[in-house]
Amino acid sequence: MKLRESGMPPQDYWETLFDVPRILDAFGFGPGTGDVVELGCGYGTFTVPLARRIGGTVHTLDLDAAMVAFTAQRAAGAGLANVKAEVRDVTAGGFGVASGSCDTALLFNILHAEDPVALLRAAGEAVKPGGVVAVIHWRSDLATPRGPSPDIRPRPEQIAAWSAEAGLRPEGDAFLLPPWHFGMKLRRI
């Protein structure tokens, strides 16, 4: 099921809205990072740079077959063999990886969904005990050039409350990811 207000602008514009290296650095991704599962690959904006950094595989999922094909082609063009892109409805069938098999799950700009707790729970199931669910979202305390309506954007305190329901706990406070986002690390208990 496609999430509310989740359309994508053209790639060249979309990729100006993120400082991808800074975001990946904030979560500590590096050669020691094992498998990662990503919900919503889009254009591969995070998929390809992440795959270049980590020692494991990036399992990336999207409902949009065109986005999955684009990301797979982009990864292949970059010579990356550690990207597995799949069309998948996570709300209907989970993340499609073995329970507890990933170091990290990415929920980037996606928790404005109708049932964010279910997404957090599914992401938590995919990661190892002690693993991380990495979250970024559009800030609601300032005007942003994109993103869902401010009234459905989650705030850090909402995500912290939802994470408790999903068997996760925040690690530290939310942190800013200029210019338009904030991030949170949630640990599987």
Give the pLDDT confidence of 76-127 residue by residue, as tens digits: 999 999 999 999 999 888 999 999 999 999 999 999 999 999 999 999 999 9
Dist. CA 16–CA 45, nearest whole Å: 10
Dist. CA 76–CA 53, nearest whole Å: 15
Residue among 154, 118, 119 at smallest CA distance from 38: 119
pLDDT at 3 (0 to 100) = 56
| 3-class secondary-structure state, position 102 | strand
Dist. CA 184–CA 73, nearest whole Å: 30
Sort 118 into a burial class: Cβ within 10 Å, 0-12 / 13-18 / 19+: middle
pLDDT at 8 (0 to 100) = 81
Residue among 138, 125, 120 at smallest CA distance from 185: 120
The domain 20-188 belongs to what CATH superfamily? Vaccinia Virus protein VP39 (3.40.50.150)
pTM: 0.94
**Residue numbers of the chain with a pLDDT score lower than 50:** none
Residue among 118, 162, 115, 160 at smallest CA distance from 4: 115
